[in-house]
Amino acid sequence: MASTSTLWHDMALVALRSIRSQTLRTSLTIGIIGIGIMALIAMVTATESLKANVRQEFSSLGTQSFSIGQVRSGGIFKGRRTTPSSPIDYREAMRFKRESLGDFSVTASVFGTGMATVSKGNLRSDPNVTVQGVDELFLPVSGLDLALGRNFTPTEINNGSAVVLLGKSLVNRVFQSWEEPVGQYVLVGSQRYIVAGVLESRGTSFGRSQDNQILIPLLCVRRQYSDEGRSYNLTCRVNQAESIQDAVESATGFMRMIRGDAPGEPNTFRIRQSNQIVETLLKATDGIALAAVFIGLVTLLGAGIGLMNIMLVAVSERTREIGTRKSLGASSRAIQTQFLVEVIFIGQMGGVIGIAAGLAAGNIIASYFETPLVVPWAWMTLGVILCFVTSLASGYYPARLASKLDPIVALGRE
């Protein structure tokens, strides 16, 4: 009596011969299954890469920071529609930083422009440099590091000295490789600044370079760019994560007093914790993953229908083969198993091809946006399981139909 392993080996060989005999139909079905799995894995891979980038960008802030900024969108409060709040101006930001009694460090910053140029001699950057005004605590509170040079001093911040911290890509654009940038002068627009330091490279976030920016003192932004309508941002960092809620409550109360918010009225500013920002962004990417699952399942449903059609045709074309095998002693269970092995083989081939193509496509998308490359093992495993379930469900009825054929009737067919 043949061993179980020998029987399975023979079934696999028969399955391969059957697949080769109907190459076109089998290839189309494998292609449909592969496209469904590829769509699922590609979108999930790109989404996981985006999530990894979000975590990487905000990991430096940890769970010990929160920010205070302008409310830029309206809403409903106690049945009444609210409007965007007025900007947090320089006076309010400086008073909060100077007089807040909470056990936390405070840094103030303000956006200057996103269309500045930085030049030195004949070398000039594109007019897309981001200028941000900061104080001496911005680097340590925000978790930024310096590759070269030093941070701003309190005296430079208070006097609005013309000093600048350059992003790494700007150094590469306006300095020769052999030049030492620290201590040299550059032009930001038409204003001359001395380079105090070079920021550590941070790569790209959401398709935008984080190294194509400069930091200058707050007063320099006020002097070089209009301060009208400009809103300042305050970032607070506590020493211990456990005390952040107390710090948020203290900051909220003091900021309401500074802004003159009446009792019972909503805050005219918004407070966001860094971990809440991460959670919000990660939740936004969940919709992409759900869309990927939906697209993949719909495509797999179509592939399952096509696979069932192929197997029904195969049963019709192989009735004499089935009758011969039954007359030689093959049981109905063996015939059914044979056809199930074939459909599972086709399904797994489509799954492997789809996973490989999806992984490549997803990471190509990730590399375009310069986000980390990822391998979603859990989703790849789910893809294999989905292919197995799809092929099994699609092939069960044709396999059962084949196993129920009467050998005498099957042998009599042309």
Query: For residue 267, what is the DSSP state?
Result: P
**What pLDDT score does 118 carry?**
93
- Whether 318 shows a pLDDT value over 80: the answer reads no
Phi, psi angle pair for 182, to nearest 5°: -65, 130
**pLDDT score, position 78:** 47
Report the alpha-carbon distance of residue 131 to residue 134 in Å, rounded: 10
Query: 319 versus 61: which is more confidently predicted?
Result: 319
pLDDT of residue 400: 78
- pLDDT band for 247, please (50, 70, 90 cuts): confident
Residues 72-122: tens digit of each pLDDT: 765 554 455 556 778 899 999 999 998 887 778 899 999 999 899 999 988
Higher pLDDT, 133 or 46: 133
Q: What share of the chain is helix, strand, coil (3-state, %, to 5)?
A: 55, 20, 25
Question: For residue 292, what pLDDT is reported?
Answer: 67
**Closest among 1, 20, 39, 6 to 302, alpha carbons compared:** 39
3-state secondary structure of 169: helix
Instruction: Specify the range with the lowest mean pLDDT, choosing from 60-64, 65-69, 167-171, 187-191.
Output: 60-64
What pLDDT sits at residue 192?
Answer: 94
Residue 60, pLDDT > 80, answer no
Residue 272 carries which DSSP code? E
pLDDT value for 1: 44
Min mean pLDDT across 28-37, 131-140, 322-331, 384-393 is at 322-331
Instruction: Give the C-alpha separation, 219 to 326, whole Å.
Output: 92
Q: Beta-carbon neighbour count of residue 271 at 10 Å?
A: 17
Contact 204, 210 (CB under 8 A): yes
Q: How far lies 287's CA from each of 68, 376, 397, in Å?
A: 28, 17, 35
Domain boundaries, the chain: 4-57+280-412, 72-267
301 pLDDT above the threshold of 60? yes
How far is 347 from 394, CA to CA, in rounded Å?
Answer: 10
Torsion, Cα of 73, 78, 80, 85 (10° steps): -30
Taking a C-beta distance cutoff of 8 angstroms, is the pair 85, 399 a contact?
no
- pTM, to two decimals: 0.58
pLDDT band at 281 (very low <50, low <70, confident <90, very high): low
Outline where 109-217 has alpha helix (H).
138-142, 154-159, 168-174
* Cα distance between residue 343 and residue 307, in whole Å: 7
Task: Give the model confidence (pLDDT) of 207-224 as tens digits.
Answer: 556 788 999 999 999 999
Output the pLDDT for position 166. Answer: 93
Higher pLDDT, 239 or 279: 239
Task: Summarize pLDDT for 8-59 with one digit per residue, the tens.
Answer: 666 667 667 766 767 777 787 788 778 878 877 887 787 777 777 666 655 5
Question: Token pair 């070079």 is at which residue?
Answer: 198
In terms of Cα–Cα distance, which of 109, 118, 63 is closest to 90? 109
